[in-house]
Structure 1
């Protein structure tokens, strides 16, 4: 019986470590998709999956792709105007130059072939028309609908130095059960913009690390788990 209990404890530890690894936070900030700043728009394409954007830029490969109409929009900063959208100085200063939007169709898709769980969060701005988020267990909005979220209108009250009506962004988030493989960002084309899409949290960090690199959240649990496994082995030896 002692051996069975030890094996079960070890399995629980390994499962917890794996769960922590899968829950590591990834942030897509859409910086660097455009080849230079300020520039208008660039199609995101495979920028986050080992490929390149329409501007020929490449980002960290996190296995995430966007549909053909998904673009990175240039965001205004004080003294620089390249669109009608800005973060208004809110959030991480390193995530002020680019966001996600679409100029055609009524939605754009984000595909995660390996799938993800729990939920995700984001910031958005939509001052004239509402939008929505839908999560599916198949690619490109196929399969079962796991969750959906309506997005209301946002205010337009940034300072004149940002020269932007779509400003500032507000937070949103959605949770779900199951394994998701795609997300629909929907609304009226050219009327809604998203930024800092964050996996692993249904509440967006107002000042996130903009790097889309998984945070090693499992390290502390790994250390504790190894220590417990060692203790169980010693007890079994006795």
Structure 2
């Protein structure tokens, strides 16, 4: 985890020269560039507004989800990211366990999924994957073979190490990453709501998320995780 965090931190510092934002695409005119145009700061502010709106939708759909601490920390996280965003980085969106190789005591990442985005966003994504997502979906057809539920301690230890390697002791960066993790977890919950809103699930959705009963159960379990993470962030006494 520490080594992966260091890889992410050093990747953030690369001057990539890629124009645009989002997933990479190739055209004869622009060559390699991000699929989205515009200013990163504006993009992040719009994304933050959407995330707060998503939480409002969730609370309206499931009143028992409403939680004052979650709402407070989501607002704190969006305000923090809106202030901190500057230059977009070329970051990796996929560092799942199957994409981590060991060569002796050295970690190697394979099959990257590059995206031009705010660097803390993908760090928060990593934390959400290893502390919540893989464990929550461990019984689905997509992830069952990995038996993530049998190695919860290892996954969470990797996340702890990642935070150490990525933040390098900088408490302000830790707050930013935890804020992004909170927002990523929110979007995971909201995705489950979107799936339940569909009249019929597609086969690929069932493979990855299970049937509607499993999705409903997981939505509330993930919301409990959201509440716990929000309280963790609160105890860190964020100052905005």
Q: From the two aligned structures, give the one with the greater helix fraction.
A: 2
Q: TM-score range by the shorter chain?
A: under 0.3
Larger C-alpha radius of gyration, 1 or 2? 1
TM-score, L = length of structure 1: 0.23
Q: Which has the higher strand share?
A: 1
